[in-house]
Amino acid sequence: MKITQIVIISIISIITVNTVSAQQKLNPETEKKIDVLMSKMTLEEKVGQMNQYNGFWDVTGPAPVGGSAEEKYENIKKGLVGSMLTVRGVKEVKAVQKIAVEQTRLGIPLIIGFDVIHGYKTISPIPLAEAASWDLKAIEKSAEVAASEAAASGINWTFGPMMDISRDARWGRVMEGAGEDPFLGGKIAAARVKGFQGDNTFKSPSRIAATAKHFAAYGFVEAGLEYNAVEIGNNTLFNQVLPPFKSAVDAGIRSVMNSFNTINGTPATADRYLLRDVLKDKWNFSGFVVSDWASIREMISWGFSKDEKAAAKSAVEAGTDMDMESGIYLPYLIDLVKQGKVKESFVDDAVRRILRVKFELGLFDDPYRFLDEKREKETIGSTANHEAVLDMAKKSIVLLKNEKNLLPLKKSGQKILLLGSLAESKNSPLGSWRIAADNNTAVSVLEGMKAYKGNQLNFVEGPKLTTSEPTFLTEVNYNTTDRKGLEEAKNAAKNADVVVMVLGEHGFSSGEARSRTNIDLPGLQEEFLKEIFKVNPNIVLVLNNGRPLTINWASENIPAIVEAWHLGTQAGNAVSQVLYGDYNPSGKLPMTFPRNVGQIPVYYNHLNTGRPFDKDKNVFWSHYSDVEKTPLYPFGFGLSYTKFEYSDLKINKKLFSKGENIQVTFTLKNTGKYDGKEVAQLYIQDESASVARPVKELKGFQIVELKSGESKKITFNLTEKELGFYDNSGNFIIEEGTFKVMVGGNSESLISDEFGLE
Ligand code: NOJ
């Protein structure tokens, strides 16, 4: 039912909502301790706290600064180092911590940072895969497991979670985030912060400080090209990019990392508006901001800072508190302050924030509290941790297609042929960003499937995936010429009842510095798939990838497709349990799969345009001439072995006053043969507003378990938080008008109703 009179007055009545974070209140006792300590510190020692060095083995960026190990040790001794990254293991961390605590004038402990992105040694699915579970409890648990292993290895602080919203699958780093949606991204960001930081008291030595990164808009790099510039308007910045960061700040996150990109011409590292006005002042963030690796120095290459000194000045004044691997604060900030070119208050603010987090982590009470070799041995790789990452891996799998009842596989009497280099890989499933993991420690799909002994299982590799073994620091070179193994695979396929093909990207094909212009199956894999299809069409395609892929031919022709990402240490067990039906998949895509690269950016929460449909049966409407404008697989999409039906959508009233609780109910029924789980999704559309709103926006989701034949009444409550949006000045507002409510199992198949707000 339309409520047009409300639409007419929609712009007149607007409420602005206060958005200051409640979670970042200061503890007066800690502040007093910081006052006392800072009153004893020299300017050199203060700037020293703002200096971070890389460790001695792992490199996660261009060549590290800071000189040899000896030089680094010397500077620690002089109190000129506040933090180190990628030092790991109790023994190694103790060695550097002892110098800071026992040999410096003031004994200020170091804070040890590390990229704990999806697990430490026991590896969870890549973050994008975890997001596909929509399971906040499981995601929190996964971060908790990662935190416990990292903490047991002496680490105090992780450079995660990444919460960059991205609509561009060419950008390799989409694997590290939660996909394209700010609502889902915000919930997942908060769950991860809770998993890493626990209740934010750090009483447990198994919790570590987390970092919201990359602030901000890194996911919008032009053309999906790594380290590129970002041009972005306020509407997208406030409504899409910033909400997950706000959610992390509200959850009490202790640090924020700059992004490499410029935003409308200003490097994020020097973006005073975002860092000081929004993050530190408006949101009340009380932790500290760390630069990204060399991002202060890179402002010179950007053509923003004329030299290192200018870069140091811009970064510190903007609110970048710690220098990661630019090596610029230490040599320049002291003089800049002494010469009156930078106010000492900027340095003091940075140091206070860094010391605050060190105090909160308990490092002053006991700098060795994370350094217990017994705990290190017992925690890392424990059975419980393996169980947790297996659970997470199963929940992350998305069933994209299942025809001819190919899945689940029968457990006996079948001849199964397993194909593809990725099927036997024990390295690729660990994905990118798993620096502490030992190579080749994942359970492969081959190993996982061997555990099911009722069938005859045959494995043939087929054409090699790559020409050399990929690593974290080098490009992945796909095989595009050598067809050796193809004939053997074809012959084997002729005799199989079902062919399971594991294809996709190697784990090191996504992540930092892995942008691609072509997101088809790389190398010879599509040809391999087509050749096998000619001799046996009963194919289950298991995809391994860190980003959406353009798999049009497969999607049209292959009867069963399982999205299995890079699922971590327990990958092969998770995939096999899903293939054999011991686990009924329930994952839903957190990112749209395009039909081709030319559609990018393609995302579900777009604006309508003025000509969305072909209403006049001529060419003048918003479309492409050569391909449908719809995605290949939409956001929120994912099947189950069972079927779900949505009906009976009701809203408790037709017209609401502001502040009233809006209740949306509907019936969800499992109409299929299997028990299963469904991620029920709720979207709204603010039909007319002072700033045009998307055609739909996710505003709620619930995971519902239903036995075969069972149905349940599901309720969602909508409040002003879900109905409002940010105006172009960054104020959160709620406007009167008509709202469409949609519910369903993905962002396209939805049932709907409407209500008015006055
Ligand atoms: C650069 C990456 O952008 C960032 O995410 C990471 O935390 C640092 N390097 C440290 O490895």
- At 197-256, the pLDDT tens digits run 999 999 999 999 999 999 999 999 999 999 999 999 999 999 999 999 999 999 999 999
224-241 per-position pLDDT tens digit? 999 999 999 999 999 999
Spacing, Cα 631 to ligand 1 middle (Å): 31
Residue bearing the CA closest to ligand 1, atom 9: 293
Top mutation candidate among 115, 126, 211, 325 for ligand 1, by most atoms within 8 Å of CB: 115
Helix, strand, coil % in the chain, rounded to nearest 5? 35, 20, 50
> Which letter does DSSP use for residue 582 in this model?
S
286-318 per-position pLDDT tens digit? 999 999 999 999 999 999 999 999 999 999 999
Distance (Å, whole) CA 76 – CA 52? 10
Look at residue 236 in the predicted model and tell me its pLDDT. Answer: 98
Residue bearing the CA closest to ligand 1, atom 3: 292
Q: Which ligand 1 atom sits closest to the C-alpha of 61?
A: 9
Name residue, tokens 């009444």: 713
Q: Which token pair is 143? A: 């971060």
Residue 536 has pLDDT above 80, yes or no: yes
User: Mean per-residue pLDDT for 522-547?
Assistant: 98
Look at residue 67 in the predicted model and tell me its pLDDT. Answer: 85
Distance (Å, whole) CA 255 – CA 246? 12
Q: What percent of the chain has pLDDT over 70?
A: 97
- Give the mean pLDDT of the chain: 96
> CA angle 133-136-140, nearest 5°?
110
Q: Which ligand 1 atom sits closest to the C-alpha of 176?
A: 5
Look at residue 627 in the predicted model and tell me its pLDDT. Answer: 96
Distances in Å between the Cα of 33 and the Cα atoms of 24, 106, 137, 358, 444 are 18, 13, 36, 12, 52
Q: Which token pair is 112? A: 């040890």
> What strand order describes the sheet that includes 288-290?
211-215, 255-258, 288-290
> How do strand 560-563 and strand 498-504 relate by DSSP bridges?
unpaired
Q: Residue 7 — pLDDT band, cuts 50, 70, 90?
A: very low
Top mutation candidate among 226, 257, 259 for ligand 1, by most atoms within 8 Å of CB: 257
**Contact predicate 684/719, CB 8 Å:** no
**Pocket of ligand 1, beta carbon within 6 A:** 60-61, 115, 159, 213, 292-293, 512
Question: Of 66, 64, 61, nearest to 80 (Cα)?
Answer: 66
Residue bearing the CA closest to ligand 1, atom 7: 159
Give φ, ψ of 357 to 5 degrees.
-70, -35
Residue 19 has pLDDT above 90, yes or no: no
Q: Which ligand 1 atom sits closest to the C-alpha of 213?
A: 5
Look at residue 4 in the predicted model and tell me its pLDDT. Answer: 34
Residue bearing the CA closest to ligand 1, atom 4: 292
Q: Which token pair is 313? A: 């000045």
Spacing, Cα 160 to ligand 1 middle (Å): 9
Top mutation candidate among 52, 159, 173 for ligand 1, by most atoms within 8 Å of CB: 159
Look at residue 21 in the predicted model and tell me its pLDDT. Answer: 65
pTM of the complete model: 0.97
Q: Coil, strand, or helix at residue 542? A: strand
Q: Which ligand 1 atom sits closest to the C-alpha of 211?
A: 7
Residue bearing the CA closest to ligand 1, atom 1: 293
Q: Which ligand 1 atom sits closest to the C-alpha of 159?
A: 7
Residue 6 has pLDDT above 70, yes or no: no
Question: Of 177, 207, 199, 188, nearest to 137 (Cα)?
Answer: 188
User: Mean per-residue pLDDT for 73-98?
Assistant: 96
Spacing, Cα 282 to ligand 1 middle (Å): 26
Residue bearing the CA closest to ligand 1, atom 11: 60
Spacing, Cα 142 to ligand 1 middle (Å): 20
**Contact predicate 192/161, CB 8 Å:** yes
Residue 17 has pLDDT above 90, yes or no: no
Top mutation candidate among 292, 295, 472, 515 for ligand 1, by most atoms within 8 Å of CB: 292
Asked if residue 463 has a cis previous peptide bond (ω within 30° of 0), the answer is: no
Look at residue 11 in the predicted model and tell me its pLDDT. Answer: 36
Spacing, Cα 178 to ligand 1 middle (Å): 17
Spacing, Cα 117 to ligand 1 middle (Å): 10
Q: Per the residue annotation, which of 292, 323, 391, 727 is the catalytic one?
A: 292
**Of residues 446 and 25, more confidently modeled:** 446
Q: Which ligand 1 atom sits closest to the C-alpha of 60?
A: 11
Spacing, Cα 262 to ligand 1 middle (Å): 16
Residue 3 has pLDDT above 60, yes or no: no
Q: Is 292 tagged catalytic?
A: yes
Q: Which token pair is 654? A: 């037709």
Q: Residue 8 — pLDDT band, cuts 50, 70, 90?
A: very low
574-599 per-position pLDDT tens digit? 999 999 999 999 999 999 999 999 99
Question: Of 130, 236, 230, nearest to 185 (Cα)?
Answer: 130
149-167 per-position pLDDT tens digit? 999 999 999 999 999 999 9
Look at residue 62 in the predicted model and tell me its pLDDT. Answer: 85
Distances in Å between the Cα of 327 and the Cα atoms of 64, 109, 263 are 9, 20, 23
Q: Which ligand 1 atom sits closest to the C-alpha of 260?
A: 3
Spacing, Cα 293 to ligand 1 middle (Å): 6
Q: Which ligand 1 atom sits closest to the C-alpha of 160?
A: 7
Spacing, Cα 115 to ligand 1 middle (Å): 7
Residue 15 has pLDDT above 70, yes or no: no
Spacing, Cα 502 to ligand 1 middle (Å): 30
User: Mean per-residue pLDDT for 520-547?
Assistant: 98
User: Mean per-residue pLDDT for 663-687?
Assistant: 98
180-189 per-position pLDDT tens digit? 999 999 999 9
DSSP string, 199-244: TTT--STT--B-EEEEETTGGG-GGG-TT--B---HHHIIIIISHH
Top mutation candidate among 166, 293, 326 for ligand 1, by most atoms within 8 Å of CB: 293
